[in-house]
Amino acid sequence: MKILMVCLGNICRSPLAEGILSDKISKMNVTVDSAGTAGYHIGSKPDSRAIDIAKKNNIDISNLRARKFEFSDFINFDKIYVMDENNYVDIIGLAETKDQASKVVLITDVLDSESYVPDPYYGDLADFEKVFNLLDKICQKIANKIESR
């Protein structure tokens, strides 16, 4: 099972989602990666505020480096979780087959309560904390689903 987390810049939300889900999954045959729909930050570490909030929760995401989503990700991953509606439209727009399109899921769909993961980039530490807590809740559900397969 290969899971890809996608946001806009791949420096705030999706590296957090990658770190949090990786931390929760014990099965050896599950891999988690992340990518951005935009290329602004290719090669960059996660935002320092994302690194800090993860570290506060005993998760190290400092070694991750941003990359842009590429077409081969549709082939290499089983599930592509996107953080918001813009990401969804961007990624679905690149799909060439129904099978590829069906891999793309808005990550908040695993909960009943939220409709997207808000972009914390122009926010403050409290926004990063909210995003962490939301992704933690979501990733726990995803992990439970995978572990029970």
CB of 47 to ligand 4NP, least distance (A): 7
Give catalytic status of residue 90 as yes or no: no
Among residues 7, 12, 33, 90, the one annotated as catalytic is 7
Instruction: Tell me how far, at minimum, the Cβ of 112 lies from ligand 4NP, in Å.
Output: 23
Identified catalytic residue from 47, 73, 84, 119: 119
To the query of whether residue 12 is one of the catalytic residues in this protein, the response is: no
* Residue 75 Cβ vs ligand 4NP, minimum distance, rounded to whole Å: 23
Q: Are 77 and 11 in contact (CB under 8 A)?
A: no
Shortest distance, position 79 Cβ to ligand 4NP, whole Å: 19
Q: Rounded to whole angstroms, how far apart are CA atoms 33 and 15?
A: 8
Cα–Cα distance measured from residue 10 to residue 88, given in angstroms and rounded to the nearest whole number: 14
Burial-class residue 122 by CB neighbours within 10 Å (0-12, 13-18, 19+). exposed
Burial of 105 (0-12, 13-18, 19+ CB in 10 A): middle
148: its two tokens: 């029970």
131 Cα distance to chain centroid: 11
Interface with ligand 4NP: number of residues (CB under 6 A): 10
Tell me: does residue 119 bind ligand 4NP (CB under 6 A).
yes
Residue window 23-42: x/- pattern of binding to ligand 4NP, with contact defined by CB under 6 A: -----------------x--
Residue 13 in contact with residue 83, Cβ under 8 Å?
A: yes
Residue 13 known to be catalytic = yes
Of the pair 84, 146, the CB lying nearest ligand 4NP is at 84
Interacting residues toward ligand 4NP by CB under 6 A: 7-13, 40, 119, 121
